[in-house]
Amino acid sequence: MGRFITFEGIEGCGKTTQIRLAAAWLAKRGVPVLATAEPGGTPLGLKIRDLLLNRSAFSVGAEAELLLFAAARAQHVRQAIIPALRAGQWVLCDRFHDATLAYQGYGRGLDAGFIRTLNGFSALSVSPDMTLLFDLPVETGLARAEKRTAGIRPEAAEDRFEQEDRAFHGRIREGYLTLAAGAPERFRVIDGAADVETIHREVCRHLAALF
Ligand code: TMP
């Protein structure tokens, strides 16, 4: 079996850049890697991503949003993550079930107990070996995220969550930190406000511990 490592954090926390660097670092050491993301990672997941992240002409309620993230995850785990782990690959996943607790639980206020049950169901009981949480102030993250989407056409910007108010993002940051405090054996909290190279070194240190 390979290793399953998830990357989490608020908008603009730098996790996507860090996955790219970590995948290259592992590949250089001969480790077979699958770098993937949620929602996404399968044709169905990408369609759901499009429905959920782009600003759309139709409304998506919190309950429907939760179920769509869960549907994308179930397909992703079955079709991509389990086969990769069985083939001995290290799976680096940009967000996983902690994002659902942070965003739909702490952010939207949906019932955490129900989300945990749904998370177990949609993840087919697969759970990360390690979760790297990139923590930084909401203002810093949102400013970075805005910069990233500035040059993109509004209909392609994937910024529906970025449009939420500061309090929403504040609840998500606190939610992630609470989740990390509740599972210290799985979480590693990394200062996401540091520079890319410093963060990368920290990520490699944690990955090396899994060899
Ligand atoms: P990202 O590609 O920037 O990580 O965007 C994914 C967005 O989807 C981000 O705003 C967080 C959100 N999200 C949820 O709200 N719940 C989830 O379960 C997942 C996986 C993502």
Convert the pLDDT of each residue in 101-110 to its tens digit: 999 999 999 9
Tell me if 162 sits within 8 A of 150, measured CB to CB: no
* Sequence spans of domains, the chain: 4-208
What is the best residue among 15, 38, 95 to mutate for testing ligand 1's pocket, by most ligand atoms within 8 Å of CB?
95
3-state SS class at 26: helix
pTM: 0.97
| pLDDT at 172 (0 to 100) | 98
| pLDDT at 54 (0 to 100) | 87
Q: How far is the CA of 30 from the centre of ligand 1 (A)?
A: 30
Which atom of ligand 1 is found nearest the CA of 37? 2
Which residue puts its alpha carbon closest to atom 10 of ligand 1?
Answer: 161
Amino acid, single-letter form, for residue 211: F
Which atom of ligand 1 is found nearest the CA of 161? 10
CATH fold of 4-208 reads: Rossmann fold (3.40.50)
**Cross-sheet strand order for the sheet of 4-9:** 33-37, 90-94, 4-9, 130-135, 187-191
Q: What is the mean pLDDT of each run of 10 residues along the chain (211 residues)?
A: 97 97 98 98 97 87 98 98 98 98 98 98 97 98 92 83 94 98 98 98 98 94
Tell me if 6 sits within 8 A of 188, measured CB to CB: no
> CB under 6 Å to ligand 1: residues?
11, 37-39, 53, 69, 94-95, 99-100, 103-104, 161
| pLDDT at 209 (0 to 100) | 97
